[in-house]
Structure formats: C-alpha cells, structure tokens
Structure 1
Amino acid sequence: MLRFMPVGDSMTIGSAGEHTWRYRMWQHLRATYGGPFAVVGPREALYDKATDTPTSYEYADPDFPHFHLAGWGEGWLHMAPLIGEAVRAHRADVLLVSLGLIDLGFYTNAGQTADNLRSFIAEARAAKPTVRMVFLPVIPNVRARTDVPFATEVALFNELQAKAVADLDERRSPLLLASLPESYDVDHDTYDGTHPNAAGEHKIAGAFAGAMHQAWGVGGEYGDEGDGTTEDEDDGETARDFERYRATHSSSRRSAWR
C-alpha cells in the first residue's frame, strides 16, 4: 500500500466548508491509481476562521481520509522540525508538499526558506531513507502584484527550490518538482487572492498528479477519472483502511494541536 501525506500551509489545510485540494487528489487517486493506497498524517482538522483555531471538521464532503500535516500560518520553518516524526509515525511513502508562501511573506527570505527546505528533506530521509517527495512551486498570490520585493523573493525561492530538488534527488529517495498549476489565475482560482476555490483546488491537485504520473507512472493524468463523481462508488476497501488508520492513530489526532 502506498501512503501519501499532504504537507502544507493554509492552502493545504483549508478552512471550514471547503473540499480542499487534498480531497480532489484523493478522488483522483481513487479513480486512477489502480492499487491500494492511504492518505496519512498526524492532523485531520480544517482551520476555523470564526474561532481562529484549526479545530473544524466541517468539510464540504467529510467522507474521505482527511489526514495531513498542514497548518494555517505554518511554513518550512515550522514543518522541517516536525516532518521526521510524522513520516516515522505514519510510515509515509510519498510527501505532497506545498510550502513557502507564508515563509516568504512573514518569516524568512528566499535563501533562508531554501535552507529550511533542505532541512525538511534531510529530516524526512532520516526518518525513512526511501521516502519520495513532490514539491509544488510557490504560487504568487495577489500581494505579488504590488509588492515588488515580495514578488522577487517568490521568484528567487522557486529557483532555489528547483536547484535543491535537482541537487538532492536520489535513486532510492526521488524528488520531483511539479509544474506551477496550468493557467492558475488568482482572480478566478482563489476566493481571496491567496486561498484556492474549487477551481484552484483542482488545479493544485492536477499539478501534483501530473508530476507523479509523468515521472513515476503513479495514477493517471488529472481528469482521467471522468466527471469527478467517484465519491458515490462503492469502495469498501478504502473505507476499511480509513477506519483502521483512524483507530490506530486516534490519540495522535486528539493531541495534534495541543
């Protein structure tokens, strides 16, 4: 069984009432992977804007394995120290990583952010030497239109991330850099200039899916699943795996945000 762990910031955790790109990816893999897989991670919740806490379980469709390692306002700076234990505890095989925007906006410059990226890779491999990782470039948000220094840092980090992926790629622990989501437009694919709406969720999931399919033969091209209504199909094996995983890691779920 291939175990996928989504890792990210506010664009990955999502907020109450959303599907999230994690859901779109699960639908895609369910329809195209052709083998057993699981979505794993130490956290489950969405961010609740009303309480300013990551405590909501109000997914637009809650009937999917919504495990992850993502946090509102968390970036490479925060995830690098956490990823080793998360990989070890949840036996992740593939990390789907979307990080960097919050770092560059509030915490670190491009060079410092790239250093944290490299630390993240090292910590993940220390926990599991064969772990695979797929990285999404930072998608510039609406701020990049008027804040030239910020836009410059985003562009520089994307270059540094591409270099790190090329430098650190290994046969036993391959690294992939996904393409920026095709035709992504913050005016149409986000609800606030940063966070993806349904269209944006599909494009982010499609970027990850395309990279894995083209490089590793995992799944199909995004859209091969048809009309996206696979949630109504019977999938007892996935449901049983989900419940077994939930029961095993229930204590981790309860304590994830303490």
Structure 2
Amino acid sequence: MRIMPVGDSMTIGSCGDFTWRYRLWQHLRATHDGPFSLVGPRAGLHDTAADAATSQRYADPAFPPEARRHLAGWGEGWLHMAPLIGDAVRAHRAGTLLVSLGLIDLGFYTNAAQTAANVRAFLTAARRADPRIRAVLLPVLANSRAADDPEFAAECARFNTLLAETAADLTTPASPFLLAPAPSPWDLAHHTYDGTHPSPAGEHALAAAFAETLHAAWGIGGPYAAAPGARTPEYAAG
C-alpha cells in the first residue's frame, strides 16, 4: 500500500515539528498488518528562515527518511497541486491520497467555486494517472482568520459543501473519493500553535481524522488510539 500525503503548510510542517504525517506513520506501524509506504516527490520540512522546504529537522530524528515522503508545500493549495498530482501519482505509484488543502486557496488565491473547480481538476488528473486511485479529503478547518472574519468563515463553509459534492460526484466503486470528518473538537488554542498550524495535539487530531476514515472505509489499520496525557479523550497531545 502506497500512501501519498498531499497538503499545504499544515501537512509539510516546519523545523522541529513532528507533523501529522509522522503521527499517521506511527499509527499504521502499530495497527496495520500489511506493508505500507508514505510516498511522494518531497521529504523536507519548511525552513522558515530560508523560506524553503529544505529542513530535515523533524522532532523525532528516528522518523526514517523513506517515511518522510509527501507532496506538500508551504503556501501551496489545490491551485498549485492540481498540475502536479498526475505526474506525482505516476512517478511514485501512489494508490491512496490523503489530502488536506483549501485554506490557503481561499485565503489568497481563489473563491469557493474556483477552488472546487481546482479540486475537480486535481482528482481528474489523479484518476487519469491511475484509474484505481482512491483519496481521503479533509475539509478546510476554520482558523483564527475565520474566527474573526465572518465572510471568510462563510466562504470556508461554502467550499466544504462544494468539496463534499465534488467528491460524491466523482467517486466510483473502482476509484472512491471520500470526505474525512473534520476533527471535533478543533480548539484553536489547543490544536494549533498560532491559530492555523497544528500543535502536537492538532497533529494527532489530523492523523486521527485520516486514520479513522482509512479504517472505517477500507479496513486499513485500526482505530486511532489516544496517547497517555491527551487533554481530550478523542485525540492525543504531544
């Protein structure tokens, strides 16, 4: 099983992060019976000083280099990933995509309808590269801007509706596109360190959203277990 994480800054992470990718890797190592790989054309974290994805300073240095692979970028959204996904799927033989995108699109590049059009282009290109590709899509999670800007919050909600509709419209038995449930609760003070980017607790919450969908839909892995010291019963703290 070859899984490609796809996302923006919440997925790539920055220097010193564990990342939700690492949390998912840990979870699958503990619960999945068969072999799996995290794949993609990139492996680094975003180095904020260099403003480039050049860091390998993960919080756990034991996170093996071969498991760090992804297609994620700081400031990149559906707009940027749609032209890349076909080649990435072909080159890295990804069979399952775990996608967390949209906030950066809505914040800087496109409105909800335009962003949904890029979702359609992304999924179409992925399926063209592999007719049996499957994907789990995470809704946009409200950040501090959405908390302070009702118009932006409404645009995020509109996009999430369109995301669900697009996934349902394009899904087929051979190539399913599923919407993961948004982590609940998603407490900006606890699950992010700056109102957007995941804290250790937020990394667990994101990993759990993907893991629970993988398990419920396709029998991959098991239920996501909270680690000791978690503040909430659903998801673990760092």
Structure 1-normalised TM-score?
0.86
Q: Distance in 2 between matches of 1:223 and 1:131?
A: 27
Q: Deviations over 1:113-142 (max 9, x none)?
A: 000000000000010010110000000100
Structure 1: distance between partners of 2:223 and 2:80: 32
Amino acid corresponding to residue 46 of structure 1 in structure 2? L
Report the counterpart of residue 34 of structure 1 in structure 2: 33
Question: How far is the alpha carbon of 1:184 from its aligned partner?
Answer: 1.2
In the TM superposition, structure 1's runs of 4+ consecutive aligned residues that sit over 6 Å from their partners are none
- Counterpart residue number, 1:180: 182
Q: Which protein has greater RCO, CA pairs closer than 8 Å, 6+ apart?
A: 1
The 5 A counterparts of 1:18-167 are 18-62=17-61, 63-64=63-64, 65-167=67-169
**Residue pair 1:182, 1:207 contacting (<8 A) in 2 also:** no
> Bigger CA drift: 53-62 or 189-198?
53-62
Tell me the amino acid that sits aligned with residue 92 of structure 1.
Answer: A
Q: Percent same amino acid among aligned pairs?
A: 63
Q: How does 1:220-235 map to 2 (within 5 A)?
A: 220-223=222-225
- Letter paired with 2:58: Y
1:189 aligns with 2:163: no
Residue 14 (structure 2) aligns with = 15
Secondary structure of the residue aligned to 1:183 is coil
Give the C-alpha shift of residue 147 in structure 1.
1.1
Taking structure 2 as the reference length, the TM-score comes to: 0.93
In structure 1, what is the equivalent of residue 202 of structure 2? 200
Hey, what's the Cα distance between the residues in 1 that align with 2:213 and 2:129? 24
More displaced 10-residue stretch of structure 1: 74-83 or 162-171: 162-171
- Deviation at residue 53 of structure 1 after TM alignment: 1.3
- SS of the residue corresponding to residue 220 of structure 1 reads coil
**Number of residue pairs matched?**
226
Distance in 2 separating the partners of 1:148 and 1:213: 35
One-letter amino acid matched to 1:31: A
RMSD of aligned alpha carbons: 1.2
Partners of 2:106 and 2:68 lie apart in 1 by: 27
How big is the shift at 1:227?
A: 5.9
